[in-house]
Amino acid sequence: MAQLTHSKPAMPRVTVIIPTYNWSSVLPYSIGSVLRQTFQDWELLVVGDGCTDDSGEVVEKIGDPRVRWINLPTNTGEQSSPNNEGLRQAKGELIAYLGHDDLWLPHHLQCLIEAIDAGADLAHTIIKTVYPENFSDEKVLKRLMKRPPSRFLPSSSMHRKSVSERIGGWRFYREITETPQDDFWNRAVAASFQCLPVPRLSVLKLPAKDRREVYKERPSHEQAALFERVGNEPNMEAVELASMLIEMQTVLYEEVAKSNQRSPLRQWFRKLRPQKPQGAQIDAWRKYKGLEPKA
């Protein structure tokens, strides 16, 4: 009689962790952006930070066996504890994070996995920050000057599980001076893990800290509109990258203009410099290009 063998079920390659707290209306969109990924060998752990709303029911209604709800017994007030619980229960060899109010473009996981397979221990993509409608152009420019689009943020990153196993996971925010995300990244780099930035836009980030009273009102209209765009615009990455390029050019122009205005030496030279005749600059350009001067 032949002996029966029982093979172990295949483990997912990637574990996605979504930390959340009492904002169930945004979950269908963040979870939906995971379901839309071109790479499908994943599990998704939605980890509540002591949620008391209907977040668990919303997750259960997704109806995908790869999506699992976990709720911490008490609220800790920050994503480190939910992230660490996700790491503890993760089955995948690779870990990706997604903010509950952020969205991924469909190629997000695939391009990060390619970076890891190329030898990186940690990788991150380019982020498009979506600012509130009530932000003035001036306020947007100030934010852009402070936040480079390619940097480590949880929603843009992936790392080997061995990274967090060695450096000890996420530290509680009251025990450190940096933000938990910067602390995690810096410790990983200090431990000589290789980090690779990926030159692809794959994250739409909607910072809650830029949206007043957002955890009281708990809106989801921005996520709904962006989710629809992602589904209907196959060239959305290119469109948003072009928009970001224009924004960064504006930032650079503003910075150069301010620097010129502040420079006492430049102002002094302007006073000494003789006034050019009308049309002189164009005439000089024409001559340089090999064109005859116009009368």
Q: Are strands 94-97 and 14-20 parallel, antiparallel or unpaired?
A: parallel
Q: What is the pLDDT of residue 247?
A: 74
Measured in whole angstroms, how far is the alpha carbon of residue 84 from the centre of its chain?
19
What architecture does CATH give domain 14-232? Alpha-Beta Complex (3.90)
Using DSSP's 3-state secondary structure scheme, residue 128 falls into strand
Residue 45 contacts residue 90 (beta carbons within 8 Å): yes
Residues of the chain with pLDDT under 70: 1-9, 136-151, 250-276, 278-279, 281-282, 285, 288-290, 294-295
* Inter-residue contact 127 to 205 (CB < 8 Å): yes
Name the strands in the sheet holding 157-160, side by side, starting at the edge strand that comes first in the sequence.
Answer: 67-71, 42-48, 14-20, 94-97, 157-160, 122-129, 195-205, 103-104
Identify the pLDDT of residue 10. Answer: 78
CB 122 within 8 A of CB 158: yes
Helix axes 236-262, 137-146, angle to 10 degrees: 90
pLDDT confidence of residue 132: 86
The pTM for the full model equals 0.83
pLDDT the model gives residue 152: 76
CB-side exposure of 284: number of CA atoms within 13 Å? 6
> What type of residue is 182?
D
Q: Where are the alpha helices (DSSP H) in the chain?
A: 27-35, 55-60, 80-89, 108-117, 137-146, 161-167, 180-190, 214-217, 221-232, 236-262, 264-272, 280-288
Residue 262, both tokens: 């502040």
For residue 15, the model assigns a pLDDT of: 98
Q: What is the pLDDT of residue 83?
A: 98
